[in-house]
Chain A
Amino acid sequence: MINIRNVHKCFGDLEVLKGIDLDVNKGEVLSIIGGSGSGKSTLLYCINAIENIQKGQIIVDDIDVHAKKTYQDKLRQKLGMVFQQWNSFPHLTVLENAALAPRIVKKLSREESIEVAKQELEHVGLGDKFDVYPTKMSGGQQQRLAIARALAMKPDYMLFDEITSALDPELVGEVLDTLRLLREDGMTMICVTHEIAFAREVSDQVAFFNEGIIEEMGTPEQVISNPQKETTQKFLSKVL
């Protein structure tokens, strides 16, 4: 379970998150929508401790992410993350991309790590690409590789940061299909996304971010189909 309490985050003088409260239960899918600069990606980086926070608390399975005594490298094994720019490792083959972290971080044997990597790659439909270098693949394929690479660590949670925003339109579908698969597997996910239709379809909760606060939150029916706040209505009318 992820509990977020009154989180504030500043970059210099600019306060990007102004008191965020959120809870995500095991097996739930939370989608975060909102305009650019609203702080939604920053929150993901804070959950993963890639960014620090100035105030508040983020608790993942009873571990305070930003406490001094927390061993963040270890904690990140619980939290898989996929980025807008897929960030594949260009000097490694697809298989090595997915097998590296299980081997060096989880200390699996070479055979075990390759086994896990192959399973996850097949799961996302890259079973025929093991020996290919990522730069030779399409953005959609690289993004699916990034998902498989994160899944190979067997995380308890997956954080998705606008993972379809940098893709050509015709490649968005294959990546969303992969997320639907994960949803069926019962993976707990936080998706920062601009795919409103997708968010409505898969989410248990939707949060609308506006200028560093959660403007509106609830089920997809409440927030997307029937928004109460004017800012939410305005945003949705622009993107839908």
Chain B
Amino acid sequence: MDYQFHWNIVFQKMPEMLQGAFVTLHVSVLSMLIGIVIAVLLAIVKMNHSKPFCYVAIGWIEIARNTPALFQIYMAYFGLGALGIHLSPYVAVLSALIFINAGYLAETFRGGFMSIPKTQYSASKSLGMNSFQVYRYIILPQMFRRIYHPMTNQFVWSILMSSLGILVGMGELSGETQRLQSLSFRTLEFFIVAAVMYFIITKLVLFSSSLISRKLFRGEI
């Protein structure tokens, strides 16, 4: 093995790598925030069994959960492009991630909700609470504890999956890495550094999430 590592060029390009990492975080945070809002709606609609909305929700959830993320991104970029709707790489990746996050989180939310025993509802009712109070003080806080860690996982997943942006020429961390290595031919160096940056980002997310959860949920459950 006579590979010569050259790290200098990587460090020179660090500002551009960091810019890419910022776009990665940007797109994954946004895809989570919008995904969560849609997921809440999907979960409610699915649990309500009100047709035809219920079928839309089920369709969304099933497609999002059972097809590759790569296909979603291709559909948003090339698929819609073929139909004459031209999205920028950023918007295409963002929409695909929103679509998938909403599908997965909808099931997480539904599961979290179903896991709260019905008896918590009757016990709260028997204390004179109205339905709004039961949800506000009893059901939702307990549900939030159960979906918190799955949500963190979904966030980490979004960060990692946004790397598929590389395939549609998006300027997030992987896309930037791809561009920089093709200019310098230091492929291995650039991808090693990118991998380390992904690792640090996800570890930071997991660490802060567990700090927050300790603060929020104190000792119980």
Q: What is the interface of chain A, defined by CB distance below 8 A to chain B?
A: 45, 48, 50, 73-74, 76-77, 79-81, 83, 85, 87, 89-91, 93, 100-101, 104-106, 133, 135, 146, 149-150, 153
CB-based contact A79/B126 at 8 Å = yes
The residue that B120 contacts in the complex, of A87, A101, A104, A146, with Cβ under 8 A, is A87
B128 on interface, CB distance cutoff 8 Å: yes
Q: Is A104 in contact with B133, judged by CB distance below 8 angstroms?
A: yes
Contact of A74 with B128 at beta-carbon distance under 8 Å, contacts A87-B119, A90-B220, A91-B142 already known: yes
Q: Are A90 and B221 in contact (CB under 8 A)?
A: yes
Chain B residue contacts of A83, Cβ below 8 A: 119, 122-123, 126
By beta carbon, the residue of chain B nearest A87 is B123
B127 located at the interface, meaning its Cβ lies under 8 Å from any Cβ of chain A in the complex: yes
Report if B137 contacts A (CB, 8 A). Answer: yes
**Which chain B residue has the least Cβ–Cβ distance from A131?**
B219
Residues of chain B within 8 A (CB-CB) of A100 are 127, 137
Let me know if B145 and A91 touch, CB within 8 A. Answer: yes
Are A50 and B142 CB-contacts (below 8 A) given A85-B119, A91-B220, A135-B220?
no
* B137 to A: closest C-beta gap in Å: 6
The 8 closest A-B pairs by CB, nearest first: A87-B123, A101-B127, A81-B126, A77-B128, A133-B220, A105-B128, A76-B128, A73-B130
Closest Cβ–Cβ distance, residue A10 to chain B (whole Å)? 19
* 12 more CB-based (< 8 A) A-B contacts, given A87-B120, A133-B220, A150-B126: A45-B122, A48-B126, A76-B125, A80-B127, A83-B119, A85-B119, A89-B124, A91-B221, A100-B127, A105-B128, A106-B128, A149-B127
The answer on a CB contact under 8 Å between B219 and A90 is: no
**Residues of chain B contacted by A135 (CB below 8 angstroms):** 220-221
Q: Is the CB of A89 within 8 A of B120?
A: yes
Chain A CB within 8 A of B138 CB: yes
Closest to B138 in A: A89
How many A-B pairs with Cβ below 8 Å? Answer: 71
Instruction: Please determine whether B221 and A80 come into contact, CB atoms closer than 8 angstroms.
Output: no
Interchain nearest-CB distance for A189 vs B (Å): 15
A144 to B110, CA, bound (A): 32
Task: Evaluate contact between A101 and B129: CB separation under 8 angstroms.
Answer: yes
- The complex places the Cα of A32 from the Cα of B75 at a distance, in Å, of 65
- Chain B contacts of A153 at CB under 8 A? 127-128
State which of A76, A90, A133 has its C-beta within 8 Å of the C-beta of B126: A76
Contacts of A50 in B (CB 8 A): 122, 125-126
B141 at the interface (CB under 8 A from A): yes
Please name all residues of chain B whose beta carbon is closer than 8 Å to the beta carbon of A146 when the two chains form the complex: 123
B123 / chain A contacts, CB cutoff of 8 Å: 81, 83, 87, 89, 146
Provide the residues of chain B in CB contact with A80, threshold 8 Å. 126-127
List residues of chain B with CB within 8 A of the CB of A133: 219-221
Contact sample, A vs B, 12 pairs, CB 8 Å cutoff = A74-B128, A76-B128, A80-B126, A81-B126, A83-B119, A87-B117, A87-B119, A89-B124, A91-B145, A133-B219, A133-B220, A153-B128
**What distance in Å separates the Cβ of B136 from its nearest Cβ neighbour in chain A?**
8
For B125, give the chain A residue with the smallest CB separation: A50
> Which residue of the partner chain A has the closest CB to B127?
A101
CB distance from B116 to the nearest CB of A (A): 10
CB distance from B215 to the nearest CB of A (A): 14
Q: Residues of B contacting A87 with CB < 8 Å?
A: 117, 119-120, 122-123
B128→A73 contact, CB < 8 A: yes
CB-contact partner of B129 in A73, A79, A93, under 8 A: A73
**In whole angstroms, what is the CA distance A101 to B136 when docked?**
12
Q: How far is the CB of B187 from chain A (nearest CB, A)?
A: 51
- A233 to B117 CA separation, bound complex (whole angstroms): 37
| Nearest CB on B from A95, distance (A) | 13
Cα(A73)–Cα(B126), bound, Å: 8
Q: Which residues of A contact B122 (CB under 8 A)?
A: 45, 50, 83, 87
C-alpha spacing A135/B128, complex, angstroms: 23
